[in-house]
Chains A and B, each alone.
Chain A
Amino acid sequence: MQLIDCPWCGPREEVEFHYGGEAGVAYPADPAALSDEEWARFVFHRANPKGPLAERWSHSAGCRRWFTAVRDTATHRFRR
């Protein structure tokens, strides 16, 4: 099974983690002013690259902390 490096706990099994999607998606400053299309873009549209992607992960079965990690979506390897 794949090991993921938790910044606090060190390498742990993938099943201990919860995936949080792409990192760095900013919440709109004024959500009420957004059109439906802009809101859908914020909620659903992601970069989805083939290659390195900064993602949010939560070590839910361990220290329960969120952290950002860069993972290659083609190889599943995490960048050190």
Chain B
Amino acid sequence: MAESLFRTGPLDGWAGRFAELPDSVTIMAEPFHAMVDVRLAPDGTGRPAPGLPGSVAAAVGTTPPEPGTWTDGEQAAAIWLGPDEWLVTSPFTPPAELEAAVRGPGGAAVDVSAQRTTIRLRGAHARDVLETGCAIDLHPRSFPAGAAAVTTLGQAGVVLLALDGAGTDYRILVRSSFAGYLAEWLIDAATEFRT
């Protein structure tokens, strides 16, 4: 008898713990995002070399993000990871399709969907929680909407994305095996904001 396999997330079953948090710090495990790591020869400025197909741009419907930023398209988002490396994510497109969409000559595209999971951190104290364990300057003047940073949060490697310019909405991409640890860490960091 055939068995059906269902996709599970590393933070399945945490919704109850997250629900106990105050409105000023809300944590949500976002639904599955397909993620494709794109490597393109750089032109020395952190942008793809001229002449290469803008496969990243094609996926997100805009120009590839500059160093330290990410761009959100209709179907997919592109995150700058390094001078020749971008991460294209999409909650809508299946991994294989996304990989095929951004693959082009002169570069490599690899499906890394299983590598990271996505956590959404929102609320008036969202920035305060992150600043408990992240050394980069997260004030909106230096980490505005559209900023992206590959850094450490509570000693776990994360990709941090700013979704608004007020420091109240972040997306955290964390390695799946660290997701439980980071969720525990975030809940602990948010404890002081309970009323």
**Which residues on A are within 8 Å of B, measured CB to CB?**
1, 3, 8-13, 15-16, 61-65
Query: Across the two chains, which residue of chain B brings its CB closest to A13?
Result: B135
Q: How far is the CA of A68 from the CA of B11 in the complex (A)?
A: 40
Q: Give the secondary structure class of B's interface.
A: strand
Contact B82 A61, beta carbon cutoff 8 Å: no
Least Cβ distance of B195 to chain A in Å? 32
Contact A15 B152, beta carbon cutoff 8 Å: yes
Least Cβ distance of B134 to chain A in Å? 9
- List B80-97 residues whose CB lies under 8 Å from chain A: 81-83, 85
Least Cβ distance of B44 to chain A in Å? 11
Q: How far is the CA of A1 from the CA of B136 in the complex (A)?
A: 12
A61-B157 contact, Cβ under 8 Å, with A8-B46, A8-B83, A9-B68: yes
A10-B135 contact, Cβ under 8 Å, with A62-B151, A63-B150: no
What residues of B have a CB within 8 angstroms of the CB of A61 in the complex?
150-152, 157
What residues of B have a CB within 8 angstroms of the CB of A11 in the complex?
136
Q: How far is the CA of A62 from the CA of B148 in the complex (A)?
A: 11
Q: How far is the CA of A1 from the CA of B81 in the complex (A)?
A: 24
Contact B82 A64, beta carbon cutoff 8 Å: yes
Q: How far is the CA of A46 from the CA of B2 in the complex (A)?
A: 64
Interface residues on B, range: 10 to 19
Least Cβ distance of A4 to chain B in Å? 11
Least Cβ distance of B66 to chain A in Å? 11
Q: How far is the CA of A61 from the CA of B82 in the complex (A)?
A: 11
Contact B152 A1, beta carbon cutoff 8 Å: no
- B65 at the A/B interface (Cβ < 8 Å)? no
What residues of B have a CB within 8 angstroms of the CB of A15 in the complex?
152
Query: Across the two chains, which residue of chain B brings its CB closest to A14?
Result: B135
Query: Across the two chains, which residue of chain B brings its CB closest to A3?
Result: B135
In the complex, per-residue mask of B147-188: 1 if CB is within 8 Å of any chain A CB, else 0: 001111000010000000000000000000000000000000
What residues of A have a CB within 8 angstroms of the CB of B46 in the complex?
8
Q: How far is the CA of A48 from the CA of B82 in the complex (A)?
A: 31
Least Cβ distance of A18 to chain B in Å? 13
